[in-house]
Amino acid sequence: MAVPYATQVLLLILSTVTTLQFSASKAAGLNMTCSEKERNALLSFKHGLADASNRLSSWSDEEDCCTWPGVHCDNITGQVMELNLDTPVGSPYRELSGEISPSLLELKSLIRLDLSSNYFVLTPIPSFLGSMESLRYLDLSLSGFMGLIPHQLGNLSNLQHLNLGYNYALQIDNLNWISRLSSLEYLDLSGSDLHKEADWFQVLSALPSLSELHLENCQIDNLRPPIGKTNFTHLQVLDLSNNNLNQEIPSWLSNLSTTLVQLDLHSNFLQGEIPQIITSLQNIQTLDMQNNQLSGALPDSLGKLKHLEVLDLSNNTIIYPIPSSFANLSSLRALNLAHNQLNGTIPKSFGFLKNLQVLNLGVNSLTGDMPVTLGTLSNLVTLDLSSTLLEGSIKELNLVKLLKLKELRLSSTNLFLSVNSSWVPPFQLEYVLLSSCGVGPKFPEWLKKQSSVKVLTMSKAGIADLVPSWFWNWTLQIEFLDMSNNLLSGDLSNVFLNSSVINLSSNLFKGKLPSVSANVEVLNIANNSISGTISPFLCGKTNATNNLSVLDVSNNVLSGELGHCWVHWQALVHLNLGSNNLSGEIPNSIGYLSQLVSLLLDDNGFSGYIPSTLQNCSTLKFIDMGNNQLSDTIPTWMWEMQYLMVLRLRSNNFEGSIAQKMCQLSSLIVLDLANNSLSGSIPNCLDDMKTMAGEDDFFANPLSYSYGSDFSYNIYKESLVLVPKGDELEYRDNLILVRMIDLSSNKLSGAIPPEISKLSALRFLNLSRNHLSGEIPKDMGKMKLLESLDLSLNHISGEIPQSLSDLSFLSFLNLSYNNLSGRIPTSTQLQSFEALSYTGNPDLCGPPLTNNCTSKEKLSESASVGHADGNFFGTSEFYIGMGVGFAAGFWGVCSVIFFNRTWRHAYFHFLDHLKDLIYVTIVLKVRRFVVK
């Protein structure tokens, strides 16, 4: 039917008016203001928050809420559409906290709510959020929420993005509510507890639009496939890392072959070989299965994944050579196969990986040389071949096209950098890690042209040369510098150091101590020939702020007194001045070092007493003042230092007794008070020393420390020289495992307290050269880990306890020159020691000693097998039993003869026959004797 002309005109007019109104409103859209209702709702929301950095200070009645920070409105209607109040890393603001007001329900058109990275700790997720039906984007991640995730969130039928990852302790009782989110494309529940939700896969796989799923660290312990076919028809990203799967890689992953782009299964205890189904993931770009227990060989078919950009299989137990087919991965940007058991050579065909930026093959058993073809990878940024069996020289040709190289890691290999002294590298490195790798003997002059280096490690690099003068100015830009364990020489007197971590130890440097800037945290120049006094170093900058945490100048030839400038070095945590020629008294000002953890002043000439101000250093774990000339008594406050792990005061002139308070040192692992003049008895409360009694965690108190913010570098470890088995040994990496008590060469008296037997973790015990008496505690065999026991040169008496034969780890034993007696207990362990271990005990007998025990002792020992007290033959019970047995046997025989006639006749007939036989025998013997 034709539309009347008048009607057409009317419609045209209305359309024109509508268009004009729309254009006008659009033109004025920039001035559109939010409604009073929504402004009040936002102000109410602000009122419930704690805003420590006042980022919401502009939220007020005088301002249009559409102009407030974090608020975004519709340009036409003025309605609030987005609320973005996240606090990302690097933000100038502090986290928001407090309560989330239900006034947000007034924001009817809100489609995006982002409150991530804030501090709503111990607060449950508000259930009213499930009533904000217009929401399409909800991010509450990293904000400290706890409790059950409210099921009401399942009402958000328009929601496309839901991120609840990494909150404080979110719990999920079931996931059925998620199945109602049919529009959901992105889901992150990382950090939530899903281990009780057995059907999580079944529920989540039913979400038809889901393209990205993150379930990292959800305590998932199964990957049971859903009933029927997997419905992840759009899934592109699957992150199940940091769970407890503990199974083989599931076969159902092949169902995702056409969609999956990113698969992250790292840190899951996955086992078995890498299955062929992985190669069915045709579009995979990122494959991360690092830190599992995968074994076997790398599938040759992995080379078919032509879209693969990132492959990380590090920290597994994969063996065999690297397949040459990997050269077909033309899109590969990062390849990490470190920390496996790969052998064979590096494929020369790796030179075809022209897009490769990261190549990490470190910590494997790879052999051969570094292929020249690696030097053609012009996009390579990181090259890590460290801790392998690679060998041979690396020449300029190996590195000629590495124009973008930033990290070169060749430490702990047999590779040798053989370049011309005038070589100018084509790259500018930031990380140069060439420790335990051939660099020398000449100093590497090519470093001079490297202007971007942050980390330089060339420890044990075979450099034996004079350090050039330009090097020290060049190092001012370096953050980490390790040139230790070479034969570098030069005078450090006028050197200024600026790096945060500096290790120049074990070289041939001489002169006075160098100057350091306030940036220096670690200075280790031990084992050199540095001389002069330490005072100019300590007192040279009295007004500057020093951040030095570690100062190790041990094993040099420093002399003089310590001075009184320690107040300027209050950041010190580790101070090692051992093995020098320092003298005088330990100054009271050392008490200013309140953060001190270790203090090593051993092998010097310090005299006087230990200053009482040292008790201000209440966090001390490690004290070594051995081999000095300190005197007086050991201060009582020292026994009250609750964190003390090592106390070594040997070879001084300390007197007095060992206080009972010593047993309060529950964390002690080494107590060495040997070679002093201590008297009195050994405290009888030793069983209170919990660490030595095995009631601690071996690694609860580490003795190695990392420094620096962006580079994990264990530059400093505590070390200690001990005398566990008669010889001096240095302990460093294994010091945390040592448990030792050495009280030898003192004037201690009394008995060895039986409580010592409860120190089941003790490994070394030396009580020799004292005046100890009494017997060896009978339960000493319960010290199962004991490796060394020295009780020699005392007045110990009695027998060696049978329990000592149970010490299966015992490798050093000295019981000589005591008053021990009796037989040495028979055991493979005790008889394995030489006779010198028992000599000087005249009444001691049995192997390995040559003097045999008497028959009486043998009889006594035989009886002791069946009797716990070992002396049954000498008791009255023995004789009573023997008398009763004789009487019973005598009258038993007589009764039989008296009452049985046949036996009686036979018995007397036997006696007559025996009498005749004896008579004839005697007569014949006498006659023969007379005839002769």
- Cβ neighbours of residue 138 under 8 Å, at least 6 residues apart? 113, 129, 153, 156, 159, 161, 162, 163
- Report the pLDDT averaged over residues 755-762: 93
Nearest CA-CA partner of 643 in 696, 604, 709, 590: 696
Tell the burial category of 102 from Cβ atoms under 10 Å away from its Cβ (0-12, 13-18, 19+).
middle
Confidence of residue 79 (pLDDT cuts 50, 70, 90): very high
If phi over 0 gives left and psi between -120 and 50 gives alpha, with beta otherwise, what is residue 490?
Answer: left
Instruction: Write down the pLDDT at residue 250.
Output: 87
Instruction: Write down the pLDDT at residue 855.
Output: 45
If phi over 0 gives left and psi between -120 and 50 gives alpha, with beta otherwise, what is residue 143?
Answer: alpha
Q: Give 880 or 30, the one with higher predicted confidence.
A: 880
Distance, in Å, from the CA atom of 641 to the CA atom of 120, rounded to the nearest integer, reads: 39
Q: Which tokens sit at 18?
A: 């509508």
Q: How far is CA 798 from CA 751, 821, 824, 855, in A?
A: 12, 6, 11, 19
Whether the pLDDT of residue 701 is over 80: the answer is no
Report whether the peptide linkage leading into residue 441 is cis, meaning its omega lies within 30 degrees of zero: yes
- Report the pLDDT averaged over residues 8-18: 47
Q: How far is CA 455 from CA 402, 414, 447, 451, 499, in A?
A: 19, 21, 12, 12, 10
Whether the pLDDT of residue 914 is over 80: the answer is no
Confidence of residue 254 (pLDDT cuts 50, 70, 90): confident
Nearest CA-CA partner of 158 in 178, 176, 140, 182: 182
- Report the pLDDT averaged over residues 704-723: 61
- Report the pLDDT averaged over residues 453-462: 96
Q: Using a pLDDT cut of 90, give the percent of the chain over it.
A: 69
Instruction: Write down the pLDDT at residue 26.
Output: 40
Half-sphere exposure of 728 (CA within 13 A, CB side): 4
Instruction: Write down the pLDDT at residue 27.
Output: 40
* Helix boundaries (H) for 847-899: 855-864, 876-899
- Report the pLDDT averaged over residues 168-193: 91
Of 121-125, 170-174, 713-717, give the lowest mean pLDDT range.
713-717
**Cα angle 207, 210, 216; round to 5:** 105
Instruction: Write down the pLDDT at residue 28.
Output: 41
> Which of the given ranges, 514-523, 691-700, 826-835, 875-884, has the highest pLDDT on average?
514-523
Taking the CA atoms of 562, 568, 570 and 573 in sequence, report the sign of the dihedral they define.
Answer: negative
Confidence of residue 283 (pLDDT cuts 50, 70, 90): very high
Q: Output DSSP code: residue 557.
A: E
Q: For 871-903, how does the pLDDT look when each residue is reduced to its tens digit (9 = 90+)? A: 444 445 555 555 656 666 565 656 555 555 555
Q: For 370-398, how does the pLDDT look when each residue is reduced to its tens digit (9 = 90+)? A: 999 999 999 999 999 999 999 999 998 88
User: Do residues 621 and 642 make contact, with C-beta atoms less than 8 angstroms apart?
Assistant: no
For helices 876-899 and 901-931, the axis angle rounded to 10 degrees is 110
Whether the pLDDT of residue 859 is over 60: the answer is no
**What is the overall mean pLDDT for the chain?**
87
Whether the pLDDT of residue 783 is over 80: the answer is yes
Instruction: Write down the pLDDT at residue 889.
Output: 59
Of 49-53, 297-301, 854-858, give the lowest mean pLDDT range.
854-858
- Report the pLDDT averaged over residues 547-563: 94
- Report the pLDDT averaged over residues 139-157: 95
* Helix boundaries (H) for 568-720: none
Task: Look up tokens 């991640």; give the residue.
Answer: 141
Taking the CA atoms of 482, 483, 486 and 489 in sequence, report the sign of the dihedral they define.
Answer: negative
User: Do residues 716 and 782 make contact, with C-beta atoms less than 8 angstroms apart?
Assistant: no
> Which pTM value belongs to this model?
0.80
Distance, in Å, from the CA atom of 484 to the CA atom of 508, rounded to the nearest integer, reads: 10
Task: Look up tokens 């950041």; give the residue.
Answer: 571
Whether the pLDDT of residue 438 is over 70: the answer is yes
H/E stretch holding 26 = helix 5-27
Nearest CA-CA partner of 235 in 187, 193, 295: 187
User: Do residues 218 and 191 make contact, with C-beta atoms less than 8 angstroms apart?
Assistant: yes
Whether the pLDDT of residue 788 is over 80: the answer is yes
The number of helices, as runs of H, and strands, as runs of E, in the chain is 9, 59
Confidence of residue 89 (pLDDT cuts 50, 70, 90): confident
Q: Give 870 or 841, the one with higher predicted confidence.
A: 841
Distance, in Å, from the CA atom of 571 to the CA atom of 521, rounded to the nearest integer, reads: 9
Of 21-25, 637-641, 870-874, give the lowest mean pLDDT range.
21-25
Distance, in Å, from the CA atom of 749 to the CA atom of 678, rounded to the nearest integer, reads: 10
Distance, in Å, from the CA atom of 572 to the CA atom of 397, rounded to the nearest integer, reads: 46
- Cβ neighbours of residue 396 under 8 Å, at least 6 residues apart? 419, 420, 423
Whether the pLDDT of residue 591 is over 80: the answer is yes
3 state SS of 140: coil
- Pairing assessment for the beta strands 237-239 and 262-264 based on DSSP bridges: parallel
Instruction: Write down the pLDDT at residue 10.
Output: 47
User: Do residues 677 and 747 make contact, with C-beta atoms less than 8 angstroms apart?
Assistant: yes
Q: Which tokens sit at 319?
A: 């063996």
Whether the pLDDT of residue 131 is over 90: the answer is yes
Q: For 846-855, how does the pLDDT look when each residue is reduced to its tens digit (9 = 90+)? A: 999 988 886 4
Confidence of residue 911 (pLDDT cuts 50, 70, 90): low
Nearest CA-CA partner of 333 in 404, 240, 267, 279: 404
Distance, in Å, from the CA atom of 383 to the CA atom of 407, rounded to the nearest integer, reads: 6
3 state SS of 722: strand
